[in-house]
Structure 1
Amino acid sequence: MVSVFAIIIALVLGGVLIAFADPRVSETVSYVFARPADFFAASWEAVSEAYKALFRGAIFDYQADEFQRQIRPITESMTFATPLILAALGVAVGFRAGLFNIGAQGQIILGAIFAAYLGFAFDFPPVVHLLLCVVGGALGGALWGFIPGILKARTGANEVIVTIMLNWIAVYLIAYVLTMGKFNASGTGLRSPQIGPNAGYPALIPDFLVPGNTFRLHWGFVVAILATIFVWWLLERSTTGFEIRAAGANPHAARTAGMSVGRITVLTMVIAGGLAGLAATSQVLITGGSLTAGVAATYGFDAITVALLGRSKPLGTFIAGLLFGAFQAGGTLMQSVTSTPIDIVFVVQSVIVLLIAAPPLVRAIFRLPDPDAPPKAARTAPKETAA
């Protein structure tokens, strides 16, 4: 409920910003006390139009004249959400182990390098080539996650600092890689060759079902669903997951119980990196896909936000990824239709994270009970006096 109410508050605050950014509202501010009805009417019109456009761009475009165009927004939200979900799952696994994996950005980049190289440098049969590229992307991210994991386990190095530095190393590494050998086949140093036709994710909605298919949604979204199920099984149903949760809750108690906290740390970071590497495949292994310096965009940093909103739980992270994907897909239409700055969408996302990080504030606003507070009877019971 705290997460739900945080979203509601963020949307209300976003509505206030939308109203003040609208020129029609600005014109009525000068006589707000003389004619308040005009001010509130203009504000309501600006906010409702903006959020309607956001809905049309993210869920269902009810004003479109074709069914394909009507449902295209929800598929775009899923497409945008795919790398967010996969990278956020990696961050969430780290959080459950008490590790702050801030390196998803670098892990996505390494996964993209591995997946792209396997995609354009080799030619394997269908399915085999795609599976090889997907595994390669996961291995690339896992390798980049292994480095902070082993440093944390062996030397006690702070994983936050190490992963942040590895992010920058990955940024400069991909810029260098794009100038080398087969990666620089075009001679520009800006883009690698396109992946082979057998290396890309096939469309999730095949052409024979929809004439004139324009949907970008691919089987990478199915990979995100399978990864969510895997993380749930890992954390909730496996011995390794129990060790991860135990180490995250109390590493000293876990060590006393005979668990190897160092091994758990390394394994957790490897799994987290592998999931972030899978996020890279949804960016590279697409029709006409290739490797560029901006392949990771800001997905690695946005994944931290998604994992926090999802409370580091697999299902919560999946839903939070869909929400942020919808914001990203709908924000573009909102800006084009209503001239509302897309930055307001980023403000809404930031407010959500701020409120998620301060549950007592949300509970105070909506007068929600504190689940960690002792029962009222226990608080009011008289204390026993010493004999």
Structure 2
Amino acid sequence: MQFAKRLDNVETSAIRELFKLLGKPGIISFAGGFPDSAMFDVAGIQEAANKALTENPGMALQYGATEGFGPLREQLAAFMATKGAKDVYADNLMVTTGSQQALDLLGKCMISPGDKVIVEGPTFLATIQCFRLYGAEVISAPVDANGVIVEELEKLIAEHKPTLVYLIPTFGNPSGATLSLERRKRVLELAVQYKTLVVEDDPYGDLYFDAPPPASLLALSSEVLGSREWLAHCGSLSKVLSPGLRIGWLIAPAQLLSKAVMCKQFSDAHTSTFAQATAAQYLLAGHMPATLAKMRKVYASRAQAMMDALRAALGDAVEFTVPQGGLFLWVRLTGKGGQLADASVLAKKAIEAGVAFVPGAPFFSQNPDMSTLRLSFATADEDKIRDGVARLAKALAA
């Protein structure tokens, strides 16, 4: 068969491929980016689903508008208002099948073959794949513990004149970094100055451990004149309610949003109306604050347990960014004392020792750091985390 040439630029996900190796009994996985299924509010979701089927079953089970189910769009706008984005309305928000679809729609609408886009180094692997699928040259901007380094970002924007800049400012995947307030404002200023679309992906922002993070770029855009016209915001309920509902959303300038709606019509017509009606009832019932509070407490404890275990078991063989929230710990093998410094080699040894993680290299669009790895603390309890880190230390010493 002759396949589309665009497929030459992409390969299957390293993370998805890794899952094929996890069939070994008793393996402890730090590999996935999943929320813990034990955190799902099954009773609340069941109540919401029942209400959706009771109050208007015909609507909940019928085809729906491509832009999204009206009551859910209203609830999502209200949800965004609680986070400081007070000028978001149902009409400037479209519901997507997970935020992954929002990114795909942005790629379809904005990227032509040969265009340049800038992402963080490292960043969400699926975004690199998505943008390359549409023919983009994906350029990497360096990050530190405070997010993308804006001075370097500006140099790259000025040099490459990208079609868009993609950022995960809050509890980045995989970096765990949080963009500082000062840098957030500067990013918005750069968007206006260079007339460059900035895409803010924010699936983790509600999962903070202690103090809330700085306001989103979307919320801050009211303070930087003209920045809203160069900003797209992707949100999701996958990490805070249920990935299975596949509810995400895109907030963007009107012209871009209308193009995204058109492209979604060609893709899936609309996101599941039943899932949307269920999510709308859940938000309307006011369950989300308690659900988030529970998740924050559990994930904060697990993150701390993992950091403590790494310090105790691996010492100066590793260093890591201390996350303020999210699901991930971004670790670097230091190679001190002659120890292994290649995470891809360690990954194979770790599987043999009964623990799995994702090597960091696939998260870079350019110049991968082979010493890095991503550990997720979300799905293992604290005892398993300590056990898994002990296995990791054994693999490193092997």
Return the structure number with greater strand share. Answer: 2
Return the structure number with greater helix share.
1
Which is greater in Rg?
1
Per the TM superposition, whether the score is higher than 0.5 is no
Question: With structure 1 as the length reference, what TM-score do the two structures score?
Answer: 0.26
Q: Which has the higher contact order (CA 8 A, sep 6+)?
A: 1
